[in-house]
Structures are given as structure tokens and as C-alpha cells.
Amino acid sequence: MYGDLANKLILEAKRTQQLSQAGFNKQQLPVYQDELVRGILKEVGSLKKNVDYLREQQLTDQDNKVAQCQYVVAMLSMERNKRCLLAYQKMRSEMLDSMVWDNNGMEFSSAISNHPNLSSFDSSVLSHAEQEYLKEYAQLLTELKSGELSEIDLTGMLQPPSDVFIDVRVLKDAGQIETEYGVFNLIKDSQFFVRQSDVERLIQQGYLQKI
Amino acid sequence: MGYYDIDDILADGTRFPCRFNYDVPGLGYLEGNPGRPISKNAKLELPLWMVHLLAVVGAQSNEDSRVEEPLPFVELLPPDLFAPRVLNAIKSGATSLDLHSISPHFYTLAEKWATLFSDKELSQVLKDMLLERGQEINNHAISVSMFSNCNQTNDSAVFLQTLDEFEKTIYRDTNVNCKEMKKWLVLK
């Protein structure tokens, strides 16, 4: 029956939503349901044909209430399919948005696939349009931050810092960084006592851990 | 409750029993035999998103429409969901009811139904149920957050199984709020 495929798509969306709510893999989206979406679009196409045919008939036969009913059913099925598709896509793009914000924007635009921080992120789960969307959204965010709002760090931490200096542990090799207080060589599992504002970005990117 | 709300869409997909008031050719696929007409008085289960309009929109009959109301395409039959049996069960003990097994979207559906038919009794029952179950949900949500995270008692795990989707969001929000509140009190 019409609408069954759309129902499957929505169930899939619900599952995705539940997973992200439970806090599992924030970085991961399930695979894009290409086949289902295609199937639904095909269904809409055939419904459109039906509707066109019925409308022609209606023009010749104004008072036929029965044809009206058929027409209404076809229209409703199309509406339903449209709603399901849009809801599915909106949920996914919202998750992509939040991923871009969490990851600080610019890392995405440079390289979607092979950034160390995003090695867990597999861009093959996205449809082609979604990949484009992700790239452009990240671009927008970068522009926003480097443009008029460059004074404010939009993706900075919201909690006020408790100390000026903090202890950090290095989680991943990150090479050398230079600060006012000298050069640090960030080798895995070493510990440093550094100024928080110097390393905040590195903490966010997952290189360092505050202890 | 928005256009993009996934729970709302799922609720809209629930099937309701209804009866056709007209012979309609070419709609046989609803019944499972495509190409055939659907006959008058045929009873079948259709999803809500299709029925809610068909049950309101009538076929306009010509001149005599002034005299009698146009008959809608389909007539919704009282569903099992809101049978007197269920309503009585709600009235007699809302907290012990397994709402999830009746329907995972009970509230949303009942809301839609009550709007369609201006069912005063149903909405009153619903309000009382929300009040009664809401208190119970609150109790559980608070008690869980006391022992950090995973110390759910058996009792409350069973209760959580009986919530419908709307109540689950209430539970989640309450739980989060309680935790935040406690954190704030400690900081102060």
C-alpha cells in the first residue's frame, strides 16, 4: 500500500534519534537509506501520474464525487510521503549541524575524511547531497567566525575557567606547540602544566585531556 | 507536534477501523485487491493520515445539500484504543496501567481523536490520567537521579516500560532537570 515505505523510513529515523539521545556514537550517523528514498520517490511519481489522470477526468465530469475520493486519497498519500521524506532529511541535517559545531567547523571543510579527530567519522554514510551540505555548512561557520565575529570564540567553552594554569595529559601525538612559556613537545601520555587559554583548542580537538 | 516531529508522524501512521459510505472504483488496493472497486459499507483499517480528512470531507451532493449534511467518504468506527474497557481501566487505576502496550502513542492519538470529534469525556479522562501518572513519573525520575546513573531499581524499570512516548520525554526532562538542580545546589 502507499505510504508503507515512508513508514519504514520514519521508523529508521526514530531509531537514529533514540541512539543519539542515549548518547551513543555522537560522531556517527547510520547509513543513508538510499534505496528506501528512491522507492518512495518512485511511488510519488506513479501517484503523480494517477492524480494527473484523475484531474483530467474531473474536468469532464464535475459532479463525480467518487472520482474526488480517489483524487483525495492519492493526494493524501503524496502529502504523507513528502512529510516523511522531509522529516527524515531534516533530522539528519540537524545532526550534521551539531556535529559541525562540536568539531569546531574548520576541520570539516579542509578534509572531511582524513582528519585525525574525525577518523571515526565515515563520510560514506552520507548521501552525495549531504556531503555537499556538510562542506558548505562548515564553510559558513568558518566564515562567520573569521568575519565580523572574529573577536568572539563562538565554539569556546561555556563554563568559566577555574584556574589560569591547568594540568593536561596528552592523548595523541601532536608535535610541538609554542607558547609564551616555552615550547612543549606533545608526545602521547606525557603531562604538562600549561596556561589554559593556550591549549583550549587542543582539548576541544581531543589531543589533550584536562586532569 | 510540529510538521517534522517524528513521533507525531509515527502516531499518524496508526491504523483505525473505518467504513466506506460510497462505492469507489479503483481504490481496491486499500483492501488488498488492486484494480477492483471498493464497495459501500466495506470495513477496513486505514492509517490516520488518510482517514482524518476522508472522515470530514464529504461528497458534495447537488441541490439537496442544504437539507441534509453531506455524508463523508468514510465513517470512523470507534477503535479499540478508546473502547469503554480501556477508559474504565484508566479511571480505575491510571498508574498501574501498561499504556505502552495499548499504544506507544496513546496521548497523541487521543488528542487527535478528541479534536476530531470534540470528545469531552475522553479529554477529561486524559487530563486526569496525565495528572495521576505525571506524579508517579516525577517520583521515579527524582529517585533515580539520587543514586547517580545506573542504579535503577527493578520496580522503576518495570514502570518505565509502561510509559508511552510522550511520557518518556516527560520522564527524561524531569530526570535531567533534577540532576542539574542538584549540581547547582552543590555549587552554591
3-state secondary structure of A182: strand
Domain membership of residue A159 (yes or no) is no
Per the structure, the count of domains in chain B is 2
Domain membership of residue A153 (yes or no) is no
Going by C-alpha positions, the residue among A19, A27, A7, A1 that lies closest to residue A88 is A7
DSSP B82: G
Q: Provide the shortest C-alpha distance from residue B27 to chain A (in Å).
A: 7
Going by C-alpha positions, the residue among B143, B151, B110, B156 that lies closest to residue B129 is B110
Residues B118 and B134 in one domain: yes
Q: Does B83 touch chain A (CB under 8 A)?
A: no
Q: Chain A partners of B13 at a C-beta cutoff of 8 Å?
A: 3, 7, 10
CATH classification of the domain holding B14: 1.20.58.2050
Domain that holds residue A120: 4-146
pTM for the whole thing?
Answer: 0.77
Q: Does B56 touch chain A (CB under 8 A)?
A: no
Tens-digit pLDDT profile for residues A115-137: 444 444 566 788 888 888 888 88
Per-residue model confidence as pLDDT tens for chain B (188 residues):
688 988 899 998 888 888 888 887 777 777 777 777 788 888 888 888 888 888 877 655 444 444 455 678 888 888 888 888 888 888 888 888 888 888 899 999 999 888 888 888 899 999 999 999 999 999 888 876 555 455 556 677 788 888 988 999 999 899 889 988 988 898 87
Instruction: Tell the burial category of B41 from Cβ atoms under 10 Å away from its Cβ (0-12, 13-18, 19+).
Output: exposed
Could you say which of B76, B107, B122 is where a domain stops? Answer: B76
For residue A87, give the amino acid letter: A
Residues B99 and B145 in one domain: yes
Residues A189 and A130 in one domain: no
Residues B102 and B154 in one domain: yes
- Scanning A103-173, the segments in alpha helix (DSSP H) are 106-110, 128-146
Residues B142 and B107 in one domain: yes
Distances, alpha carbon B177 to alpha carbons A178, B141, B144, B180, in Å: 42, 10, 12, 5
Domain membership of residue A151 (yes or no) is no
Nearest chain A residue to B25 by CA distance is A66
Q: Chain B partners of A73 at a C-beta cutoff of 8 Å?
A: 27, 30, 50, 54
This model of the complex carries an ipTM of 0.80
The label of the residue with cell 510540529 reads B2
Instruction: Tell the burial category of B167 from Cβ atoms under 10 Å away from its Cβ (0-12, 13-18, 19+).
Output: buried
CATH classification of the domain holding A133: 1.20.58.1030
Tens-digit pLDDT profile for residues B80-108: 888 888 888 888 888 888 888 888 999 99
Q: Chain A partners of B60 at a C-beta cutoff of 8 Å?
A: 65
Domain that holds residue B121: 80-187
Could you say which of B28, B49, B76 is where a domain stops? Answer: B76
Residues B35 and B64 in one domain: yes
